[in-house]
Amino acid sequence: MWMNDPNGLVFLNGKYHLFYQYFPDANIWGPMHWGHAESTDLIHWKHLPIALYPDKLGWIFSGSAVIDKENTAGFGKNAMVAIFTYHNDEIWKAGNKNTESQGIAYSLDEGKTWTKFEGNPVLNNSGEQDFRDPKVFWNDLIHEWTMVLAVHDHLQIYSSPNLKNWKLESSFKPENDIDVGTWECPDLIKLKVENSKEEKWVLIQNHDRKAPNGGSGTRYFVGDFDGKVFKNSQPSIWMDSGMDFYAGVTFGNVPNEKKLMISWMSNWFYAQKVPTEVWRSAMTLPRELSLKKVGNQYILKQKIAENFNKILTPLFSAKNVNLPFEKKVDLSQVEIRFDVKNPQNNFKIEFSNAKNEVFEIEIKGNQLTTNRSKSGLIDFDKTFAEKPQTLDLRNQKIINVQLILDQSSVEILLNNGEFSFTNLYFPTENYSIFKLNSNQKINIKNLKINKTNSIWKN
Ligand code: FRU
């Protein structure tokens, strides 16, 4: 049935928990629940019963989960506490703005069964429209909990000693901001800068409908955080410029403070119309985030969770690749990597099938372009393939490419994850021809095509 945002990403006792926006009664959006899955390795997932159901205060919108190690809330030591948005549709239909408030629930059995706090909502709405998606973490700088909350066109930062009483500390919105639509699903994380002792705070912010290629997208700010106020130090950067990467947030409580992110692979422009039937939507592979300084800019890098390599079986490899290169291979579940040794960016990648359905990726000069106008089913919504999608390569030369293809998606990572671009497609039969080409003399090396084995254990 229907799924959207990842929610309540948290690690506990050797397991990663993925809750998600779920409507069990239809394959379109509706009264939201929190579905639940868990994994020990971030790759093989097990479906579990629904964790949170709507109640008289509203539907259960997006939010996060924490492990209350010191029992600050009084629900029990190491309680898993979910902090989520109540969305009250009756208030909405009556034409009022204060539809959303924040509630909490706790679980003492690793997220299997949940009790809602009787004092909900813990954060009331004083008249704001779009007041939602709390991301909470333990803040060592103030020895309290911090919540970042998306509020229509800005971010609010709250603190609490006990997850029940929240105090507004500050708001954030960059000066002269562009119009990016509604602010949704924020996250605030601390990262070490690669090859240095410096630490920076990264504010990840999702926006529902004005990303560069249209519709939903995720951008990030890099700056400093004193425990209460976030100070931005550079213009925002889009985290993944493809149309199908949204509502991404990171796991809490992960050992060694690893920052692992999962995003929803869709776009509000057409999410409810994509041509799948018994299910609608998938998540990206989990990605580990790191920060690199390039010139005077901090760049977020994304690396597919390491255990992914364990499900790969080699299908084909070549040290040197002569162009044009063409390989017939079932592309429905593969990972493809290669290195590029070029004087300049100039090559084209194609996935196609015997019906001449084709998905194209072109890297030329300072731009990556994807084109899905002939990729298969596209008519379900005009915004799906209306125009090619582009990514500005920030004057970087592309040195390596990783492509992870599933039946209806490709996750594209360039230069060890410095660029990310995620796209859906719906060929009417599997893509089965992989092509690489260039109209210049270029050097492609170390091509590997690996099969990705199924993650569903029988
Ligand atoms: C983002 C979002 C959130 C909201 C949820 C509702 O995709 O709109 O802001 O909490 O989805 O399902």
The pLDDT value given to residue 232: 97
Q: Are 139 and 145 in contact (CB under 8 A)?
A: yes
User: Omega of the bond prior to 324 within 30 degrees of 0, cis?
Assistant: yes
CA of 62 to the centre of ligand 1 (A): 6
Is the shortest distance between the CB of 32 and ligand 1 below 6 Å? yes
Distance CA 128, CA 147 (A): 17
Q: Is there a catalytic annotation at residue 5? A: yes
Is the shortest distance between the CB of 241 and ligand 1 below 6 Å? no
Superfamily the domain 310-452 falls into? Exo-inulinase; domain 1 (2.60.120.560)
The pLDDT value given to residue 126: 87
For ligand 1, atom 9: residue with the closest CA: 184
Is the shortest distance between the CB of 62 and ligand 1 below 6 Å? yes
Beta-strand pair 131-139/115-116: unpaired
The pLDDT value given to residue 215: 96
Active-site residue (options: 5, 68, 133, 240): 5
The pLDDT value given to residue 112: 97
Is the shortest distance between the CB of 184 and ligand 1 below 6 Å? yes
Is the shortest distance between the CB of 5 and ligand 1 below 6 Å? yes
The pLDDT value given to residue 458: 44
Domains of the chain, residue spans: 2-304, 310-452
The pLDDT value given to residue 144: 98
Q: Which parts of the chain have pLDDT scores under 70? A: 457-458
Ligand 1 atom closest to 182 (CA): 9
The pLDDT value given to residue 457: 66
Q: Which fold has domain 2-304?
A: Tachylectin-2; Chain A (2.115.10)
Mutation probe of ligand 1 site: the residue of 5, 86, 245 with most atoms within 8 A of C-beta:
5
Distance CA 254, CA 280 (A): 29
Instruction: Say whether pTM exceeds 0.90.
Output: yes
Tokens of 89: 């549709």
CA of 93 to the centre of ligand 1 (A): 17
ipTM topping 0.90:
yes
Residue 307 backbone phi and psi in degrees, to 5: -65, -15
Q: Which of 110, 127, 112, 141 is nearest to 52 (CA)?
A: 112
